[in-house]
Amino acid sequence: GKKTRYEPSPPKKNDICTIMYTSGTTGEPKGVLLTNENIIAEISTIDHLLLITDKVMTETDVYFSFLPLAHIFDRVIEEYCIYRSASIGFWRGDVKVLVEDIAELKPTIFCGVPRVFDRIYTGINEKISAGGALRKKLFDFAYNYKLSNLQKGLKQDKAAPLFDKLVFSKVKQGLGGHVRMILSGAAPLAKHVEEFLRVTSCSVVIQGY
């Protein structure tokens, strides 16, 4: 109360910020003590990476959170969103309405682990194959044309704008229609999947693990 006053105790960089548990792949999950300095180092590293690639987050960005909050990857990305004043939207926790959640939120930033992107890759290719030989041939032509231009150094919006509109727009719409950056973490993303996402999602793909 008023009679018992305490001096403010500002947080120090070596203070414990959080305890994150390992996945348990080598035995029982272990609690890892992370300091304020650890978290700030993660956030500043992400910020530096996005600054040098001219993809830094702003207050107009919207992040779609569907990874477990007990996972350090999602925690750090959300903390970075707060640092950059970006918005965060959370899924309802039901895989059956995941697509509806994405369509409703219209995120600009989409994060996932390789397993998620592997499923997206497989699902899109199955739909393309089911569309018949002609559709598959047209898709392959557009894909190879854009990939070639990206490899030459052209930016996303310059690599194949016509094919982005006519061929790849459905993939982008499947991610809400506004995604400009995809982040993959926790494990290596297969090269062919990363390449596929760069071409079809019409967005930048960054991975770190």
pLDDT the model gives residue 17: 93
Structure-block tokens of residue 6:
């305490």
Which residue blocks in 64-190 are alpha helix, DSSP H?
72-83, 98-105, 114-130, 133-151, 156-159, 161-166, 169-174
pLDDT value at residue 163: 93
pLDDT recorded at residue 11: 92
Over residues 110-149, the pLDDT tens digits come to: 888 898 889 888 888 888 888 888 889 999 999 999 999 9
Cα radius of gyration rounded to whole Å, the chain? 20
Between helix 191-200 and helix 114-130 the angle, nearest 10°, is 60
Host H or E run for residue 185: strand 181-185
Half-sphere exposure for 49 (CA within 13 Å, toward CB) = 14
pLDDT attached to residue 161: 92
Q: Are 62 and 72 in contact (CB under 8 A)?
A: no
Task: Name the residue type at position 135.
Answer: R
Q: What are the extents of the domains in the chain?
A: 54-208
Q: What is the pLDDT of residue 106?
A: 93
> Looking at the domain covering 54-208, what would its CATH class be?
alpha beta
Residues in the chain: 209
Cα(164)–Cα(116) distance, rounded to whole angstroms?
Answer: 23
Residues of the chain with pLDDT under 70: 1, 209
Token pair belonging to 34: 């992370």
